[in-house]
Chains A and B, each alone.
Chain A
Amino acid sequence: MTFKSLILAAGLAGMALGAQAEGVKVGMITTLSGGGAGLGIDVRDGFMLAIKQSGRDDIEVVIEDDQRKPDIAVQLADKMIQSEKVDVMTGIIWSNLAMAVVPATVAQGKFYLSPNAGPSALAGKGCNPNYFNVAWQNDNLHEAAGAYANTAGYTNSFILAPNYPAGQDALTGYKRTFEGALAGELFTKLGQTDYAAEIAQIRASGADSVFFFLPGGMGISFLKQYADSGVDIPVVGPAFSFDQGILQAVGDAALGVVNTSQWNKDIDNPTNKAFVETFQAEYGRLPSLYASQGFDTANLLISAVEAASPADADAFRAALKAANFDSTRGDFAFGSNNHPIQNIYAREVIKEGDVFTNKIIGVALENHADVYAAECEM
């Protein structure tokens, strides 16, 4: 090797180092078109708001739309890792997409911060030191719904959810904490819009309460049809059918329904107050829990970037794990499997002026961790 090529090699190495020190590249794959677009847009807007407020120009975010299709999400992830050379990935809303993307991403040494999906498979045996969930493990909100049902005195629940990983986690979660009997248990089709058949079964079941997990448009359809059916058994569910984005489309049918969430706009801390105000000023609408999750994910990332560079994987991982940022939920800490340990609240749907929104009525589960942490070895 000649002296010249040594200099060239050193120069190239220096450039490569320089490029890494320059900043962090984030790949966000989320759902921006089609049926579930409202969720992805909220996550993206919350995330970008935090990046903007941080004033940092060394965090570059590449955003792509997965159209809620696992095959497209996988292609986008390959592209981001191979040609965009991102350091950190985030954004996926749906558990079936997360299962398709996350294991391959962390296997290639990239970090993945989940702003929403928390399938049980990634919290237990499939956990990974490079995978962090900032939102919740899928079962959490449903476990809280079961706990709330106990305190409300319900003893006989009819439960239903779509037949996909998060739906199965939902019913498992509710059954884990609910102490009463089950009047019926149903899996519906993912994306189903007509629930007449299910409502007829609920009517005939003799249940004293209904638990349902039907995120997005599915929940809108269910609630409208349920209200019109004349069945007056009280319903309880996770926040996914009562988020800010869809309450306006449900209308009066949702009023008074109790739902469980790790976040609400009236959680009293300065970060949350500022978040709700600035989000509303920036985008002209109230934030949803998805927006708060996007916002928290970005702030976690920023806190880690301030402490270490992703090029130094061990230091960056430790900085993420420390979760040294102000969350909209107040105190925030990761459990041993990198999933949050947090309060989950019971909220009630109310009307503020013309706008339907939620109000916290109590804590359903305090400092709640998920049960899969025990199975996670890392």
Chain B
Amino acid sequence: MSTILIIEQVLNGLQFGVMLFLMAAGLTLIFGVMGLINLAHGSLYMVGAFAAAAVAGLTGSFLLALVAAMAAAAMAGMLIETVVIRRLYATDHLDQVLATFALILIFSEGTRWIFGSFPLFLDIPDALSGPVTLPGGIEYPFYRLVLIGVGLAVAAGLTLLINRTRIGIQIRAGENDREMIAALGVDISRLYTLVFALGAALAGLAGALVGAIQSVQVGMGEPVLILAFVVIVIGGIGSIKGALVGALLVGLTDTLGGIFLPELFKLFMAPATASSAGSALASMAIYILMGVVLIWRPTGLYGARA
């Protein structure tokens, strides 16, 4: 296995990781600040992708499509926050899981009702398509490099927002003690809606960016949602930094595990069995990672210590 291939795979892992981060950031904020388990987060990702595909189809502009994706997901997020989720903050997690699971079904069937059952077309804009040659003669799709850049920029922006702005102070305070900041005169329900919309917009952005290289179809959000939950459990619930580190760990483990485990098994097995057994183990790799992290640090890498 050549160095070029390994570097390419590391880039792939990074790219997968930063896209997971966009999903996980919203999820971890919502859980951290509001104590809410939002299973419908994957649906917001889907809403973003469908909005982007629809707008790109109408206008031909990818930039407009991204704006539309974030706007549509943020609006859908605000809508479900004010109509459904607001009533769930005081209830226990089981009620939240049930209600947000119902939202998944409603979003999926609603999307099918509007757009039909067949996948939509959303392509990379011409300016970003095709491979570029990196130093060392590595050919790598330009769009994936852009994804890494966008993901890291969002991570930096979120860190600034949380650490340096007034809203960020309120969010951090909300994570620590909800009742107290409400008592201090912060409009808590407005803050909740805002955080929810922010998380939704990030999910929508991820959906649109990833939709361009994958398929825009009903149910696309749920597999990502599971991974995003793994990320925030590894990173520590409520921590943006944890979400970033967790997402990169999961991205790299998943990608590199898928490559190296079958190769490893080939050293002492027949190629066909090695490929099958290796890929079976590779799909478990991130859950094994999660297990190991939880044994070592039960609240996750950056979670608050009990």
Contact = CB atoms under 8 A, between A and B. Distances in A.
A201 B5 contact: yes
Contacts of B276: 163, 168, 187
B283 interface: yes
Given A200-B12, A228-B141, A248-B121, A220 B271 contact: no
A303 to B, nearest CB: 29
Interface residues of B, number: 50
B299 interface: no
Interface string B161-179: 0000000000000000000
A186 B274 CA distance: 10
A41 interface: yes
A155 interface: no
A189 B112 contact: no
A220 B214 contact: yes
A7 B216 CA distance: 64
A124 interface: no
Interface string B21-62: 000000000000000000000000000000000000000000
Interface stretch (B69-77, B78-86, B239-247, B255-263): B255-263
A196, A225, A251 — most chain B CB neighbours (10 Å): A196
A32 B108 CA distance: 12
B279 A249 contact: no
B143 interface: yes
A204 B109 CA distance: 42
B215 interface: yes
Q: Chain B at the A interface: mostly helix, strand, loop or mixed?
A: helix
Contact of B220 (A32, A196, A217, A229): A217
Interface stretch (B123-131, B151-159, B187-195, B198-206): B123-131
B279 A187 contact: yes
Nearest to B128: A228
A215 to B, nearest CB: 12
Interface in A245-270: 245-246, 248-251
A249 B121 contact: yes
Contact of A33 (B108, B118, B212, B258): B108
Given A37-B117, A196-B15, A228-B129, A220 B215 contact: yes
B1 to A, nearest CB: 8
Given A35-B220, A193-B214, A197-B9, 9 more contacts: A187-B275, A193-B223, A203-B139, A204-B2, A217-B119, A224-B123, A224-B212, A230-B130, A251-B121
What 6 A-B pairs are tightest by C-beta distance, nearest first?
Answer: A230-B131, A220-B215, A249-B119, A217-B215, A196-B12, A221-B214
